[in-house]
């Protein structure tokens, strides 16, 4: 019997080792350990053994059963592991293929610029206000101290709807509205569409965009204006950018200045883009609010002072993204829009 | 304006190089836009004298000249026909370099050697706009004898630089050499040297030539006249011609050149009339009579009206005041006696007249901007001095000067503390006085106040802030130490509508739509293209008086044409799919013609074509409303909107209020746009969306009890709307329905003609207990009963 058990064990282990699937392995288990398995059958014959032999053989049989079970389990694990590897091998894919089904839309670069500017000024304590595209001559010119015969009032410069109503030529009337509606202290910015009688070409468009800023409070100075613009330019274009304030003239500010910013291309060293000057010209106009403008809005120029600034957003957008034709902004070619 | 530095240096001592000059002038307010070099890179072109000139033996059109260049006599072949023996001309020697990159070599013309080239002004790099007419063809013949062999660059002053300046409209006084000399002197803290005006010899008496001058006091501030006799019209000396050419003005003849020279130097336009062409002995400055005519210098006949100020003799107009002289009284080669006009006209009147006749001249643009009337006298005297100096004629003694509206120096009070308060500086009173002094503004100090006397040529200074700017710019804005804003801390805010807009845009972006921007004005024809009826309120659009063209002539009342335009454009460029949106204004007048500002209404327009159908754009709209917190919208078929497909269009209702429309574009419209794909557009009232948006969100507990799902398949008439079926299902839900999902719509085999099968999956769930089958069955039975009764639905077995 001892021999028989040993033989069963050897045969079983050989069978286990030659099993190459979980099904076959299960077959081996049934063959030896099942209800009618060889080991089970041998144990049933235990009754025939002597009293002395029974516990010895019994123990041996148990040892062999344990050994077979152990072999079965480790062979099982081996096989499972191998099957996983085989499955993953079969599931190999070409990960260089793209699906291109989902799409995220693109924001218009001009509006992105407006939002960046607005958020920047919000962080500097300015509030965003809005104004209409169709304005009164009063708000667009008169209240802004524009001389009666100023060329900007001409039909060849400004779109009119009636003698008193026009398409705003700048965002400055929002200043007037803000000063008339609110009381100082005021810190506002306003961006939006503006219109001038310009034929369409690569740098002109009858519709364009501006952003206007206004601060009115006690003791506001030119030194504050320069500081504010300086901070803003550095935040928007980079810390290494410089500004240059050139005295200029606007009817609604006194003193007035135009601001040049270091050339975006060469950062001030001088290159063909800036005609060797090192400056991007006329990025922004600004100045101290003209006392007459304050008066026109019911603000006492003896008590309050203020500054205002305005900039062309189309130009800033074009400079920022290297767009060389303003028409692209309003043509809405998908291949253009999807670059931003 | 062009400022030749050589000329400037006659009035101000300057050592600075042109770059430093340009930078400093820019920082004090005279913006130098570019520096133009007069150095034309010419080498080995010298003064030569024609000693002999004969025809080429074998070429009809060529001449052979022997030219004395000082050192040698060289042989040069030329095609020019304007030469004669004894002329002084520019000769480019062998090895010479000309401005257009030409190198001169020894050449041979039909057997005759040529050792150089005789040059025209064009070949020396002068522009067609400044070359005198008499020099336009042929070799440039010098005005007099120059040392032979002298470099032509030296003779023509082709060295140094010209500054191109941007002069702001408030500073017309800077549109002259003397004006810029003042600015330069102030910037560099130097003294300006004003040329002394002196006429050596005056003859006769002006009264013998001109009896009187009458002026219209309203439109003419001053009229100052002098007479010159024994005039000999000829070319100006070369120095005068080159001066004019450097400043961009074409030389004409000695008298006209002097008037132009003085205009450039002092800023006062002058005009010279041929005295012998004037009828009578009076000059009358008056408004033109209706129907009066004048032929101007440019040979064009102009019809005048009483808005035009004219200079007239006793019979008829001889010039349009401040704009252009008359052809008949023009200076010609025969002219021997001249009236020199130095006048000051009303700027508005000149502007109006120049514009009306589309005749903007150097003179009119100067008068438009404004000129100091005190300049009349100085300019006229200066011109007389120069005419005498160049031998152009004899100056007649006496002047006629009618000066009714005298302009005097003004006093402006300035508070030094106000200067520092506005600029944010710590300037001393002495510094302020000094800066003003440099600009020719003298101050007397009185307590805490300066009384500042403003010279009459500063038309732009009238209030304290103007003086503060002057101090600021001479001090230099770049020298102001910057200071951060102080005062009450304010929190920057965005208006609510902007916040809502931002959210909508990020939802639309997430849905794969690109943002677009289109013009606020459109063509009125766009309304025909989108099929709008003639009497539709959409056609109550606001029109521009002066549009750039029909395409941009009316303020839009809908965004649909813009969206269709850009989708069509993309489609025609071969772009397969295009999904876009724009949030922009439409303009609704309260009445026409406009009396008050119109209502500007925000619209969200969405446009799609490509691999999409009606349900795609509807889903975009549904998700948008859902994310904006606007729930429970109704979609009602819209069959009448002429822009949209009658069977694929819905009005969007919220609590009975119309929020907009969405659908497929009508086939007629697509034909007009000539586009063979389907386009879907949604046009939503964004102002209403802003009103109804609910930004706040609240958490609802996750379900604790299990759901029960039931499918239901019905056969209904084709006309029955899924939305109506769903409404009935929800109505009977008794709060137990969580979701109703349409999963199949089917027509065809096994379904009766004119009917369709629709199948829904309904999810039931209670928030308070586990539902029993019986409860759900009861609800479902009610639903089916109602569907049968109201919609004639039959359960499909």
Contact A317, A110 (CB under 8 A): yes
Helices (H), B555-652: 560-572, 614-627
For residue A76, the model assigns a pLDDT of 92
A333–B544 C-beta distance less than 8 A = no
Chain B residue numbers touching A246 (CB-CB < 8 A): 26-27, 29, 31, 477
Q: Could you tell me if A339 lies within 8 Å of chain B, comparing CB atoms? A: no
Select from B509, B517, B548 the Cβ nearest to the Cβ of A197.
B548
The reply to whether B441 and B398 lie within a common domain is: no
For residue B335, the model assigns a pLDDT of 95
Cβ within 8 Å of residue A42, ≥6 positions away: A1, A4, A5, A8, A61
Chain B residue numbers touching A110 (CB-CB < 8 A): 517
Compute the nearest-CA separation of B705 from chain A (Å).
35
The reply to whether B316 and B230 lie within a common domain is: yes
How many CB atoms lie under 10 A from the CB of residue A199?
A: 9
Q: Is residue B489 part of a domain?
A: no
Q: Is residue B167 part of a domain?
A: yes
Specify the residue for token string 């013309």. Answer: B109
Interface with chain A: mutation pick from B516, B547, B589, highest number of A CBs within 10 Å? B516
Helices (H), B447-491: 464-475
Compute the nearest-CA separation of B348 from chain A (Å).
7
Domain residue limits at B557: 496-692
Q: Is residue B487 part of a domain?
A: no
For residue B192, the model assigns a pLDDT of 93
Interface with chain A: mutation pick from B514, B522, B561, highest number of A CBs within 10 Å? B514
A105–B511 C-beta distance less than 8 A = yes
| Domain final position from B378, B403, B428 | B403
Compute the nearest-CA separation of A68 from chain B (Å).
47
Cβ within 8 Å of residue B147, ≥6 positions away: B47, B70
A266: tokens are 């060469």
Select from B170, B485, B518 the Cβ nearest to the Cβ of A215.
B485
Q: Is residue B558 part of a domain?
A: yes
Residue segments in chain A with a per-residue pLDDT below the cut of 70? none
- List pLDDT tens digits, range A183-195: 899 999 999 999 9
B491–A125 C-beta distance less than 8 A = yes
Q: Is residue B703 part of a domain?
A: no
For residue B748, the model assigns a pLDDT of 86
The reply to whether B167 and B144 lie within a common domain is: no
Q: Rounded distance, CA A124 to CA A117, Å?
A: 11
Interface ipTM: 0.87
How many CB atoms lie under 10 A from the CB of residue A314?
A: 22
The reply to whether B30 and B175 lie within a common domain is: yes
Using alpha carbons only, give the angle B278, B282, B285 rounded to the nearest 5 degrees: 95
CB pairs < 8 Å spanning A and B: 245
Contact A38, A8 (CB under 8 A): yes
Q: Is residue B485 part of a domain?
A: no
The reply to whether B430 and B538 lie within a common domain is: no
Select from A122, A215, A288 the Cβ nearest to the Cβ of B422.
A288
Cβ within 8 Å of B, A 246-305: 246-249, 254-258, 275, 288, 290-291, 305
Q: Is residue B700 part of a domain?
A: no
- The CATH number of domain A109-337, selected from 3.30.930.10, 2.60.120.20, 3.40.50.1100, 3.40.190.10: 3.30.930.10
Cα of B674 vs its chain's centroid, Å: 36
Q: Rounded distance, CA B734 to CA A178, Å?
A: 53
Q: Which helix (H) or strand (E) holds A4?
A: helix A2-18
Chain B residue closest to A130 (CA)? B495
**DSSP of B2-51, one letter per residue?**
EEEHHHHTTTS---S-HHHHHHHHHHTT-EEEEEEE-----EEEEEEEEE
Q: Which stretches does DSSP call E strand in B335-427? A: 338-345, 394-396, 400-403, 410-414
Q: What is the CATH number of the domain that holds B602?
A: 3.30.930.10
For residue A54, the model assigns a pLDDT of 84
B613: tokens are 């159908």
Q: Rounded distance, CA A17 to CA A29, Å?
A: 12
Cα of B657 vs its chain's centroid, Å: 45
Cα of B498 vs its chain's centroid, Å: 30
Interface with chain B: mutation pick from A102, A105, A111, A148, highest number of B CBs within 10 Å? A105
Q: Is residue B427 part of a domain?
A: yes
Length of chain B: 797
The reply to whether B660 and B746 lie within a common domain is: no
The reply to whether B638 and B584 lie within a common domain is: yes
For residue A262, the model assigns a pLDDT of 86
Q: Which stretches does DSSP call E strand in chain A? A: 127-128, 134-136, 165-167, 186-195, 207-217, 243-250, 253-262, 279-289, 305-312
Strands B324-325 and B317-320: antiparallel
Instruction: Indicate the angle between helix axes B496-510 and B614-627, nearest 10 degrees.
Output: 140
Contact B26, B32 (CB under 8 A): yes
Name which of B170, B23, B33, B21 is nearest B478 in CA terms: B23
Q: Rounded distance, CA B132 to CA B24, Å?
A: 35
The reply to whether B662 and B745 lie within a common domain is: no
The reply to whether B591 and B462 lie within a common domain is: no
Residue spans per domain, chain A: 2-90, 109-337
The reply to whether B312 and B175 lie within a common domain is: no
For residue A36, the model assigns a pLDDT of 87
For residue B500, the model assigns a pLDDT of 96
Helices (H), B88-206: 152-155, 177-188
The reply to whether B369 and B434 lie within a common domain is: no
Compute the nearest-CA separation of B508 from chain A (Å).
7
Cα of B3 vs its chain's centroid, Å: 24
Q: How many domains in chain B?
A: 6
Residue segments in chain B with a per-residue pLDDT below the cut of 50? none
Cβ within 8 Å of B, A 6-45: none
pTM for the model: 0.85
The reply to whether B377 and B240 lie within a common domain is: yes
For residue B270, the model assigns a pLDDT of 97
B610: tokens are 């490509």
Q: Rounded distance, CA B387 to CA B258, Å?
A: 7
B494–A105 C-beta distance less than 8 A = no
Name which of B72, B22, B518, B751 is nearest A330 in CA terms: B518
Q: Which helix (H) or strand (E) holds A59?
A: helix A53-90
Q: What is the CATH number of the domain that holds B280?
A: 3.50.40.10
For residue A80, the model assigns a pLDDT of 92
């Amino acid at each position: 019997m001892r021999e028989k058990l040993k033989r069963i064990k050897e045969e079983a282990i050989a069978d286990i080792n030659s099993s190459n699937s979980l099904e076959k392995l299960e077959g081996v288990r049934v063959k030896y350990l099942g209800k009618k398995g060889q080991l089970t059958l041998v144990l049933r014959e235990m009754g025939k053994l002597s009293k002395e032999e029974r516990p010895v053989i019994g123990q041996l049989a148990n040892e062999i059963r344990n050994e077979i079970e152990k072999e079965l389990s480790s062979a099982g694990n081996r096989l499972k592991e191998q099957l996983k590897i085989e499955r993953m091998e079969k599931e190999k894919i070409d990960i260089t293929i793209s699906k291109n089904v989902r799409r995220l839309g693109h924001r218009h670069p001009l509006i992105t610029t407006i939002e960046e500017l607005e958020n920047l000024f919000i962080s500097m304590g300015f509030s965003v206000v809005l104004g209409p595209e169709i304005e009164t001559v009063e708000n667009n010119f008169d209240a802004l101290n524009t001389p009666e015969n100023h060329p900007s009032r001409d039909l060849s410069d400004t779109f009119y709807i009636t003698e008193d109503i026009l398409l705003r030529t700048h965002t400055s009337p929002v200043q007037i509205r803000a000063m008339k509606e609110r009381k100082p202290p005021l810190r506002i910015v306003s961006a939006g569409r503006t219109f001038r009688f310009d034929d369409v070409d690569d740098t002109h468009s009858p519709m364009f965009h501006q952003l206007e800023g206004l601060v009115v409070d006690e003791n506001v100075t030119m030194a504050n204006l320069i500081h504010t613009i300086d901070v803003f330019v550095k935040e928007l274009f980079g810390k290494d950018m410089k500004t240059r304030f050139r005295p200029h003239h606007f009817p609604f500010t006194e003193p007035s200045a135009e601001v040049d910013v270091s050339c975006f291309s060469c950062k001030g060293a001088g290159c063909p883009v800036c005609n060797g000057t090192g400056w991007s010209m006329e990025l922004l106009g600004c100045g101290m609010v003209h006392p007459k403008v304050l008066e026109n809005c019911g603000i006492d120029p003896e008590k309050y002072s203020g500054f205002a600034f305005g900039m062309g957003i189309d130009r800033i957008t074009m400079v920022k993204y290297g767009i060389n034709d303003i028409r692209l902004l309003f043509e809405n070619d998908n291949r253009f829009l999807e670059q931003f | 304006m062009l400022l030749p530095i050589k000329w400037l240096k006659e009035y101000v001592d300057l050592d600075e190089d042109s770059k430093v000059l340009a930078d400093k002038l820019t920082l004090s307010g005279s913006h130098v836009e570019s520096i133009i070099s007069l150095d034309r890179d010419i080498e080995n072109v010298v003064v030569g004298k024609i000693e002999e000139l004969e025809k080429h033996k074998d070429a009809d059109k060529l001449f052979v000249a022997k030219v004395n260049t000082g050192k040698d006599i060289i042989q040069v072949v030329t095609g020019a026909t304007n030469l004669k023996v004894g002329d002084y001309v520019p000769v480019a020697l062998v090895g010479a370099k000309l401005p257009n990159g030409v190198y001169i070599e020894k050449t041979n013309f039909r057997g005759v050697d040529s050792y150089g080239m005789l040059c025209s002004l064009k070949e020396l790099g002068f522009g067609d706009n400044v070359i005198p007419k008499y020099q336009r063809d042929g070799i440039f013949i010098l005005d007099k004898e120059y040392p032979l062999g002298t470099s032509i660059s030296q003779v023509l002053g082709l060295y140094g630089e010209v500054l191109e300046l941007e002069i702001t409209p408030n500073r017309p006084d800077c549109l002259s050499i003397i004006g810029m000399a003042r600015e330069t002197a102030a910037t560099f803290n130097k003294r300006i040297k004003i040329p002394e005006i002196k006429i050596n010899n005056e003859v006769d008496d002006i009264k013998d030539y001109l009896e009187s001058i009458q002026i219209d006091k309203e439109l003419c501030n001053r009229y100052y006249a002098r007479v010159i006799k024994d005039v000999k019209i000829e070319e100006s000396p070369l120095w005068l011609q080159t001066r004019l050419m450097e400043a961009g003005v074409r030389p004409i003849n000695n008298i006209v050149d002097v008037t132009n020279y003085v205009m450039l130097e002092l800023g006062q336009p002058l005009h010279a009339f041929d005295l012998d062409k004037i009828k009578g002995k009076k000059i009358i400055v008056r408004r033109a009579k209706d129907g009066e005519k004048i032929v101007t210098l440019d040979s064009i006949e102009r019809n005048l009206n009483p808005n035009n100020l004219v200079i007239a003799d006793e019979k008829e107009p001889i010039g349009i005041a401040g704009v252009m002289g008359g052809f008949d009284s023009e200076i010609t080669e025969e002219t021997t006696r001249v009236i020199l006009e130095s006048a000051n006209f009303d700027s508005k009147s000149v502007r109006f007249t120049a514009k009306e006749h589309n005749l903007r001249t150097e003179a009119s643009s100067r008068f438009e901007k404004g000129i100091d009337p005190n300049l009349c006298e100085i300019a006229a005297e200066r011109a007389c001095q120069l005419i005498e100096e160049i031998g152009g004629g004899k100056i007649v003694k006496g002047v006629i000067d009618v000066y009714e509206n005298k302009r005097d120096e003004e006093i402006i009070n300035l508070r030094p503390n106000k200067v520092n308060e506005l600029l944010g500086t710590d300037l001393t009173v002495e510094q302020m006085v000094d800066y003003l002094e440099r600009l020719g503004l003298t101050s007397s100090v009185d307590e805490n106040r300066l009384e500042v006397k403003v010279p009459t040529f500063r038309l732009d200074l009238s209030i304290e802030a103007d003086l503060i700017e002057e101090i600021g710019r001479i001090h230099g804005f770049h020298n102001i130490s910057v200071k951060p804003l102080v005062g009450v801390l304010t929190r920057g805010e965005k208006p609510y509508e902007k916040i809502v807009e931002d959210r909508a845009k990020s939802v639309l972006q997430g849905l794969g739509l690109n943002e677009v921007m289109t013009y606020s004005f459109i063509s009125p024809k766009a309304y025909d293209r989108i099929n709008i009826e003639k009497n539709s309120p959409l056609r109550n659009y606001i029109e521009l008086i002066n549009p750039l063209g029909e395409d941009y002539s009316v303020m839009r009342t809908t965004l649909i044409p813009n969206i269709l335009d850009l989708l069509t454009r993309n489609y025609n460029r071969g772009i397969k799919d295009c999904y876009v949106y724009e949030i922009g204004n439409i303009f609704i007048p309260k009445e026409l013609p406009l009396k008050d500002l119109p209502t500007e209404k925000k619209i969200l327009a969405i446009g799609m074509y490509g691999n999409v159908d009606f349900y795609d754009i509807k889903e975009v709209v549904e998700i948008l409303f859902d994310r904006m917190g606007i729930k429970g919208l109704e979609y009602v078929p819209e069959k009448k909107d002429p822009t949209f497909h009658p069977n694929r269009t819905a009005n969007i209702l919220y609590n009975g209020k119309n929020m907009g429309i969405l659908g497929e574009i009508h086939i007629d419209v697509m034909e007009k746009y000539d586009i063979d794909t389907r386009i879907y557009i949604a046009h939503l009232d964004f102002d209403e969306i802003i009103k109804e948006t609910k930004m706040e969100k609240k958490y609802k507990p996750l379900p604790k009890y299990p759901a029960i799902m039931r499918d239901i398949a019905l056969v209904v008439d084709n006309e029955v709307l899924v939305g109506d079926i769903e409404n009935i299902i929800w109505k009977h839900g008794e709060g137990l329905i969580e979701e109703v999902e349409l999963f199949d719509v089917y027509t065809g085999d096994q379904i009766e003609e004119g009917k369709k099968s629709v199948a829904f999956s309904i999810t039931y769930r209670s928030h308070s207990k586990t539902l029993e089958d019986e409860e759900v069955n009861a609800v479902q039975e009610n639903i089916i009963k109602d569907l049968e009764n109201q919609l004639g639905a039959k359960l499909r077995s």
